[in-house]
Amino acid sequence: MDYLNKFSLEGKVALVTGASYGIGFAIAKDMAKAGATVVFNDIKQELVDKGLAAYKEEGIEAHGYVCDVTDEEAVNAMVATIEKEVGVIDILVNNAGIIKRIPMCEMTAAEFRQVIDVDLNAPFIVAKAVIPSMIKKGHGKIINICSMMSELGRETVSAYAAAKGGLKMLTRNICSEYGEFNIQCNGIGPGYIATPQTAPLRETQADGSRHPFDQFIISKTPAARWGEPEDLSAPAVFLASDASNFINGHVLYVDGGILAYIGKQPQ
């Protein structure tokens, strides 16, 4: 059907930051299957090499670059190299991120700043680097990986929640400033996703029981499971495609229903 063409990414160049593995890899993989040429970065050559091997195993010819996304000069150089070697970036997914689970009063200001730098400043830096060429080309898609913590707070994640709340508002502001240039900036707010980053929270205990946090998340999620990275890739393809051309400044929460649910009544 012709309407399915609106979901195609054929001929587009997609930069997904931190996409050597996990959520970023899943998103980039499905964007490639939708027709996009995938470009990704990571902070170390060994991670880029690992990513390139994983894409090759999936039959995808990806382009990998070593770049620290918190370094504005390095980001500008990377974007210039991508434009020269691959093409102008049509789609940006700001996926790279970190979390430090430390009670607020035990967290140093330096630790707080590091999370803000990676999770909020870096998306600003990379978006700023790609927007001028998107304006010249007449279109662009920016997808920021936000979080349920863009809306909720929880103990030990003060820096992460502050960064993701800021990223939600950066998403809306990019929409406000650059929507007139046919640039759509939206966010995806993952719920709890089964990735290497969350693996410690899902470890089986010595007595064979589920980790207490694992039990908590299952009880709070109407879908009664953790999400998989692949649960995020189809929404990302949608937001990167022409099917979403009149959607701007929106955060799509892919959380199994957590934000809609108050929780079960105690027995």
Question: Which residues are the active-site residues?
Answer: 160
Report the distance separating Cα 187 and Cα 197, nearest Å: 20
Report the distance separating Cα 244 and Cα 247, nearest Å: 5
Q: What angle do CA 198, 199, 203 make, to 5 degrees?
A: 130
Query: Would you give the DSSP letter of residue 264?
Result: P
CA proximity to 251, closest of 165, 178, 180: 165
Report the distance separating Cα 259 and Cα 102, nearest Å: 23
Q: What is the DSSP string of 203-245?
A: PPPTTSPPPHHHHHHHHH-TT-S-B-THHHHHHHHHHHSGGGT
